[in-house]
Amino acid sequence: MRAQRDVRLFWAAVRACDMDEQMDRCANLTPPVPPLRAISAAEIARFNADGVVCLRGLFQVRWVEALARFVEQIARDPAQLRGAAVPPTTFLGDSFLWKTFDECRDFAYGSPAAHIAQQLLGSQRINLLFDQLFVKPAGCAVATPWHHDHTFWPLSGTQIMTIWMALGDIKSDNSALEFVRGSHRWGKRYKAVRPDRLAYLLESALDDPPDVEARRSDYDIVSWDMEPGDVLAFDAFVLHGSPANHSIVSRHAFATRWAGDDVRFAPGPATMPLNWRHGLRPGSPLGGPLFPQILPRPLAHELGSRAYGPEPRDPELLAATRRLYQEAELRQRKGSDAKQAPVGADGSRFRGEAPASDE
Ligand SMILES: O=C(O)CCC(=O)C(=O)O
């Protein structure tokens, strides 16, 4: 009996492999291109010690130009993201763009970003977590509060990082991202605080992040002037934030988030709800249509129908997410004397002009 079952499982695995190879050939899926230069041992050491490193000269111009053009046209017509008019000084954002926009899919699958993550994380396998757009227009008064990313996400493991690319000149006066050097090693897990202080995420037993802004001189804060194509590579546990943009120069950035070998799906309360079906169980390694493997090679069955067209958020999951958010906000308002927040263009209530996203 057992031998028969093993044979059946063996052939099921063989069929799955064959299908994958055939589909790979059809979709012409190739691994991403390597970066323009090797990442140095010193850069890797900096990433490990500080939790963040600024890397320049790694991306071929075509990737930077394609993303810059894409973000520029979204900034000109943000209704493409939210489906409603957005005031020009709103902090604009969205995540999982690769599911909708081919420029973002191609960047995730084809650019050197996954190789950079592989080297910095020291991981064999690299999965895409998601991508995220951040436009802070000139005059945008919203500061990104100090936070770390890990606790936003329904994941366990340590090999999780972001590659945050500047798509224009970024300096301290147009909302450069800032980091507390070494904070990824504090062994702390803080509440997931968004710029709009989304009530759902704040319903967490974790501590608030420290008020770095109030006592800046107590912390080792670091930031960089950046040019288009420069990236900040940072650990999911490092504290970071950014000030308002009081300059006359809009700040455009595009982040991709990556996971390595030790990462598992770990859904929990007060973490980012997922608005696409993914088929993962708690404890599963990442993979599948929402968190596809990119290295050692992308898999056609994970890319699936996204090879041919956009995959919108699942309406049922999206409705459930909205319900979660609304109920949490109701609880928060009942439990406090806080003033009622204004209603946003999409019907949700924002306390600032913060980016709409799945996060
Ligand atoms: O662009 C920003 O201000 C926020 C970026 C951020 O927090 C992130 O990429 O994790």
pLDDT, one tens digit per residue, over 273-331 is: 999 999 999 999 999 999 999 999 999 999 999 999 999 999 999 999 999 999 999 99
- Residue 159 Cβ contacting ligand 1 at under 6 Å: no
Q: What share of the chain is helix, strand, coil (3-state, %, to 5)?
A: 35, 20, 45
Strand order in the sheet with 144-147: 144-147, 240-242, 178-180, 221-223
295, two tokens: 């290295």
256: left (phi over 0), alpha (psi -120 to 50) or beta: beta
357 found inside a domain: no
What mean pLDDT do residues 89-113 have?
96
Same domain, 11 and 42: no
* Least confident segment among 75-89, 128-142, 171-185: 75-89
123 found inside a domain: yes
What mean pLDDT do residues 61-75 have?
97
- Residue 95 Cβ contacting ligand 1 at under 6 Å: no
Enumerate long-range contacts of 78-85, CB under 8 Å, 24 or more apart.
78/135, 81/133, 81/356, 82/345, 82/346, 82/356, 83/346, 84/345, 84/346, 85/345
pLDDT range class, residue 12, cuts 50, 70, 90: low
Same domain, 11 and 119: no
Same domain, 291 and 322: yes
pLDDT range class, residue 357, cuts 50, 70, 90: confident
- Residue 164 Cβ contacting ligand 1 at under 6 Å: yes
Same domain, 13 and 151: no
The atom number, within ligand 1, closest to the CA of 132 reads 9
Instruction: Tell me how many domains the chain contains.
Output: 2
Query: Ligand 1 centre from 124 Cα, in Å?
Result: 26
Same domain, 196 and 131: yes
Query: Ligand 1 centre from 144 Cα, in Å?
Result: 7
Same domain, 19 and 126: no
- Residue 134 Cβ contacting ligand 1 at under 6 Å: yes
- Residue 234 Cβ contacting ligand 1 at under 6 Å: no
**Which pLDDT value is given to residue 337?**
57
Q: Whose CA is nearest to atom 1 of ligand 1?
A: 134
Beta bridge partners of residue 343, listed in sequence order: 349
Same domain, 13 and 137: no
* Mean pLDDT score across all residues of the chain: 90
The string of DSSP codes covering 30-85 is -PPPPPSSPPPHHHHHHHHHHSEEEE-S-S-HHHHHHHHHHHHHHHH-THHHHSS-
**Which pLDDT value is given to residue 341?**
46
CATH number of 137's domain: 2.60.120.620
Same domain, 23 and 109: no
Q: Is the pTM of this model over 0.85?
A: yes
Same domain, 120 and 65: yes
**Which pLDDT value is given to residue 346?**
36
**Which pLDDT value is given to residue 84?**
78
Same domain, 94 and 109: yes
Which range of residues forms the domain containing residue 127? Answer: 32-335
- Residue 255 Cβ contacting ligand 1 at under 6 Å: yes
Same domain, 120 and 22: no
